[in-house]
């Protein structure tokens, strides 16, 4: 009885071992024996050939097989960039958020912050912007996101070279946000929502100072004060406009 039991146990162990061995053999090594450098170069070749999916697969293999290598860290950024170029914005941002969580103080982390801003900025653009439209006339949530991302980069890594570029980006984005407020104020004025228009002008002046939309906001605000018979306030707004922008002429239209 004991002999039979021992034989059964040995057989069971042997069969289990064979099963595990067969499973490992079928699976094979994750990187097929390739070094992280070789895999990275292969990913670049695939991307250059236009095979982004295959490039990402090779980069993901690096991350799985060599998680602690410098190539794995770079692979995460490259995946985000490739997704960005394919306009897969949500996936790209998820990759960058993950990177920032994993490597909050890595030398390449400022680039991850910058790329988040670039993605949000790209989301807000249209191929018609240079011809017939203005991004400030559309939903500007992506513009606000881009502004926040760039601002966070500057606050977190003030000495980074990417922060210097981000400062230039903020000027452009701030101007867009100011124009958006002006467009909204114009809309309210057209439909006789004078108080709402005044409040939008005030918001623009307070939150986006030194932008090109300020003089138009002052002029429009005075115009709306006239409509609600607030003569003193209209006079004050025009006095500020005349003192600050003596050669001003309206650049907006209510038509």
For 172-187, what is the mean pLDDT?
96
**162 found inside a domain:** no
What is the reported pLDDT for 138? 75
For 231-237, what is the mean pLDDT?
98
Asked whether the predicted pLDDT for residue 51 surpasses 70, the reply is yes
Asked whether the predicted pLDDT for residue 49 surpasses 60, the reply is yes
What does the pLDDT look like over 20-33, one tens digit per residue?
Answer: 333 333 333 455 77
What is the reported pLDDT for 255? 82
DSSP 126: -
Range of the domain at 66: 32-86
**37 found inside a domain:** yes
What is the reported pLDDT for 25? 32
CA 167 to CA 178: how far, in whole Å? Answer: 17
Task: Residue 115: name the closest of 138, 141, 155, 145 by CA.
Answer: 145
Asked whether the predicted pLDDT for residue 45 surpasses 70, the reply is yes
Lowest mean pLDDT among 1-5, 109-113, 169-173, 190-194: 1-5
**8 found inside a domain:** no
Query: What angle is formed at CA 136 by the lines to CA 202 and CA 234, rounded to 5 degrees?
Result: 25
**80 found inside a domain:** yes
- Written as six digits, the tokens of 148 are 């926040």
**40 found inside a domain:** yes
What does the pLDDT look like over 207-223, one tens digit per residue?
Answer: 999 999 999 999 999 99
Mean pLDDT of all residues belonging to the chain = 86
Count of domains for the chain = 1
CA 193 to CA 224: how far, in whole Å? Answer: 9
Rounded to two decimals, the pTM is 0.79
Chain CA centroid to CA 6, Å: 64
**233 found inside a domain:** no
**170 found inside a domain:** no
**70 found inside a domain:** yes
């Amino acid at each position: 009885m004991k002999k039979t039991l021992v034989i059964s146990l040995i057989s069971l162990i042997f069969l289990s071992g064979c099963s595990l061995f067969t499973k490992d053999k079928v699976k094979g090594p994750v990187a097929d024996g390739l070094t992280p450098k070789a895999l990275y170069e292969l990913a670049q070749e695939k991307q250059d050939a236009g095979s982004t999916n295959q490039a990402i697969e090779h980069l993901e293999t690096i991350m799985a097989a060599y998680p602690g290598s410098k190539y794995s860290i770079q692979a995460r950024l490259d995946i985000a960039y490739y997704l960005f170029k394919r306009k897969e914005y949500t996936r790209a941002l998820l990759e960058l958020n993950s990177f920032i969580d994993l490597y909050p103080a890595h030398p390449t982390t400022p680039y991850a912050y910058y790329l988040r801003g670039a993605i949000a900025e790209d989301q807000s653009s249209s191929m018609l912007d240079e011809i017939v439209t203005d991004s400030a006339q559309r939903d500007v949530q992506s513009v606000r996101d881009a502004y926040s991302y760039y601002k966070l980069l500057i606050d977190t890594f003030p000495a980074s070279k990417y922060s210097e570029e981000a400062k230039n980006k903020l000027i452009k984005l701030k101007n867009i946000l100011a124009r958006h407020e002006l467009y909204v104020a114009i809309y309210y004025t057209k439909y006789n929502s004078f108080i709402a228009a005044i409040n939008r002008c005030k918001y623009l002046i307070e939150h986006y100072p030194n932008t090109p939309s300020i003089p138009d906001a002052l002029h429009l605000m005075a115009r709306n004060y006239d409509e609600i018979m607030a003569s003193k306030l209209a006079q004050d707004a025009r006095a500020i406009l005349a003192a600050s922008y003596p050669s001003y002429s309206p650049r907006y239209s209510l038509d």
